[in-house]
Structure 1
Amino acid sequence: MMKDLQKAILFMLFSTLAFAIMNGVVKYLSDFSAFQLVFFRSIGSLIITMIYLNFKKISILGNKRWLLIARGVFGSISLLLFFLSLKYLPVGTAVTLRYLSPIFAAVFAVIWLKERIKPIQWLFFLIAFSGVFILKGYDENISLIGIGLVLLSALGMGLVFVVISKIGKQDHPMVIINYFMAIGVIIGGLLSINNWIQPVGVEWLLLASLGIVGFIGQLFMTRSFQIASTSLVAPLKYLEVIFTVLIGATWFMEIYTIWSVLGIALVIIGLVLNILYKSKRSL
């Protein structure tokens, strides 16, 4: 049991580090359009998922096709908005605010899945959103446009969570990811036609790494949840924020004021408390 937990923690560390690196690379490549970044992020992972599905002889069409398409569309739009927000926000702040998606997912679940939100959870959500108000109200370096974009991205991710919940176990996880990546390639590719910037030199390598590193992050995160309980490993997901803030501070010389740190901390605290509460109730 302890060995499995140690392995799960290690997998989650690898996952959050991989996603943080991907966030840093996207920030570094901000001269490219968000459409082009979505295209390269998606096509790299699509190649890997297609190879896997073909090797395992799993149908790429899936069963819940309309839901799979919806997951891909919502996910691609959310990713696009997130990449756009990185042009306006410090990378650590953008990542933190995108993690508000479980709150939107909870609200959508009430509407479509008839789930209930306990009063204590609303308190946790209030704590998280108070962090957003502190970030915008007291940190003059935070762009209102950037906050708007990343909150819309979080809302899109909330829709993704609800759609995945509706799909349930009726489709293989790799099929769900494959739809996401395929639609990301289509949306990103079509929208980048008139915004295409020809990569040169190491830029090709960095763009190609987006899909590979992103897939590695997804893979290790999935493996972590498979071998340990959600209550133990889910809070570790927020290490991505810490890793990304460190990348932003050292690589891009971003400055995080005391208000920024407080706002980020409140968002994480509110969301982690909600995870722990939900996990406790499910025991």
Structure 2
Amino acid sequence: MQTGIILAFAAYLAFACGDATIKAVGDRLPIFEVGFFLSLIALLPALFTKRPEDNWSNVFVPKRPGLLAVRMVSGTLGGILGVVAFTTLPLAEAYALIFLLPIFVTVFSWLVLKEEIGWRRWLAVLGGLIGVLLVVRPGFREVLPGHFAAVGVAICGAITVIVLRVLGPSERRVTLIGAVLVAATLVNGLLMLPEYVAPSRDLWPLLVFGGLVVGIGHLLLVLATRFASAARVAPTQYSQIVWATVMGVMFFEEFPDGIAMAGMALVAVSGLFTFVREKEKTVWPDKTPLVRNR
């Protein structure tokens, strides 16, 4: 289990590095172009998530194509919105909003799956919303498109989690990962054509690095869940707020104030509490494959 948790921490560090790369290149390339190159390059290491017993001939043949299509749409849209969020917001602030994801999972579970939600989880939802208000502070700070994009990422991720509750036990993990990366590559590739700008020579190392660390992050998460259950390693995703804060200070001169830090902590605590309570009430955290939700 220790090995699995360490691998999960490494995976989320890799994802944070990929998101920092998006921020570094986002103001120099169109949004869809960034998404295209990172998704394309991420495909290579992600292919190694295939299990030895699977054949390449059936890896890309889904058992439930309709739900997998929903996963592909939500993952692709979440990725595009993620590029908008990370290029217009401080890294840690973007993560604070994206980590509303468990809150939206709770709400969608109540609305769509008709799950019974206790007062403790509703209190966690309220705590997460208060945390977001502390981070964004509407009326005191300018609300940017990136704020709405980050919330959109959380909503797309929550939709993905709901879908994965059904797909998790039946679909191959490489299918779930590869399908969304292929969809993101194709959609971003088509959308980038009207405004295509050839990346300059100094951008290529960043694009290759960003794509590789995202693909390696997927691979590390799959390895992590072979040593420990998804429910055990999932809380390590909140380490991304720490990585984002450190990288924001080191590379982008982003210094969150005390109120914003308190809001980020409240969002993280609310999300962790929501996850723990859902694990006690349902079995889905053990069945849902731990793959990147955007």
Same fold, judged at TM 0.5 (above): yes
Matches within 5 A, 1:114-133: 114-133=114-133
Indicate which of 11, 14, 21 corresponds to 1:18: 14
TM-score (norm: length of structure 2) = 0.87
* 2:68 equivalent to 1:68: yes
The one-letter code matched in structure 2 to 1:38 is G
- The farther-off stretch of 9-18 and 100-109 is 100-109
Per-residue CA distance 1:199-243 (angstroms, 9 max, x = gap): 122311211222221121122223323322455432221111101
Tell me what 1:44 maps to: 41
Q: What per-residue deviation string (whole Å, max 9, x for no partner) do you get for residues 80-130 of structure 1?
A: 111101232101110221121122122222333332222110111111111
Q: Are the counterparts in 1 of residues 49 and 173 from structure 2 also a CA contact under 8 Å?
A: no
Aligned AA for 1:143?
Answer: V
- Give the deviation of 1:252 after TM superposition: 0.4
Give the Å deviation of 1:43. Answer: 1.0
Structure 1 position 249, deviation (Å):
0.9
- Bigger shift: 205-214 or 67-76? 205-214
Structure 1, unpaired ranges of 5+? none
User: Deviation at 1:160?
Assistant: 0.9
Q: How is 1:118-267 mapped onto 2 (pairs within 5 angstroms)?
A: 118-137=118-137, 143-230=143-230, 232-267=232-267
Q: What CA distance in whole angstroms lies between the structure 2 residues aligned with 1:115 and 1:126? A: 18
SS at the partner of 1:170? coil
Deviates most, 134-143 or 88-97: 134-143
What secondary structure is seen at the aligned counterpart in 1 of 2:88?
coil
Cα distance change, pair 52–10 in 1 and its aligned pair in 2 (3 A)? closer
Shift of 1:282: 5.5
- State the secondary structure of the residue aligned to 2:72: helix
Distance (whole Å) between structure 2 residues aligned to residue 15 and residue 62 of structure 1: 26
Where 1:192 maps in the other structure, the secondary structure is helix
Counterpart amino acid of residue 249 in structure 2:
A
Query: CA 1:61 to 1:146, structure 2 compared with 1: closer, same or farther past 3 Å?
Result: same
Task: Give the TM-score, by structure 1 length.
Answer: 0.90
The residue that corresponds to 1:35 in the other structure is 32
**1:183 is aligned with what amino acid?**
A
Alpha-carbon distance between aligned partners in 1 of 2:95 and 2:151, rounded to the nearest angstrom:
10
CA distance in 2, matches of 1:190, 1:138: 36
Secondary structure class of the residue paired with 2:4: helix
Give the 3-state SS of the residue equivalent to 2:17 in structure 1.
Answer: helix
Q: Kindly state the Cα deviation for residue 52 of structure 1 after the two structures are TM-superposed.
A: 6.1
Which structure 2 segments of 5+ residues have no match? 284-294
Number of equivalences: 279
Do the aligned partners of residues 53 and 226 (structure 1) sit closer, same or farther apart at CA in structure 2, a change above 3 Å counting? closer
Relative to structure 1, the CA distance from residue 51 to residue 240 in structure 2 (aligned partners, 3 Å threshold; closer, same or farther) is: closer
Task: Identify the residue that residue 291 of structure 2 maps to in structure 1.
Answer: none
CA distance in 2, matches of 1:139, 1:10: 41
- Determine the C-alpha separation between the residues in 1 that align with 2:268 and 2:142: 18
Shift of 1:281: 4.3
Which secondary structure state, in structure 1, belongs to the residue aligned with residue 61 of structure 2? coil
Q: Is the 8 A contact 1:128 1:267 kept in 2?
A: yes
CA displacement at 1:179 relative to structure 2: 1.0
C-alpha root-mean-square deviation of aligned residues, in Å? 2.2
Distance 1:137 1:159, change over 3 A: same
Give the direction of change, closer, same or farther, for the CA distance of 1:49–1:75 in structure 2 (3 Å limit).
same
Letter in 1 for 2:35: V
Taking structure 1 as reference, are residues 167 and 247 closer, same or farther at Cα in structure 2, changes over 3 Å only?
Answer: same
Q: What is the CA distance between 1:22 and its match in structure 2?
A: 0.7
The aligned amino acid for 1:171 is: E
What residue number does 2:287 align with?
none
**Residue 88, structure 1, aligned to residue 88, structure 2:** yes
Q: CA deviation at 1:53?
A: 5.1
Give % identity. 24
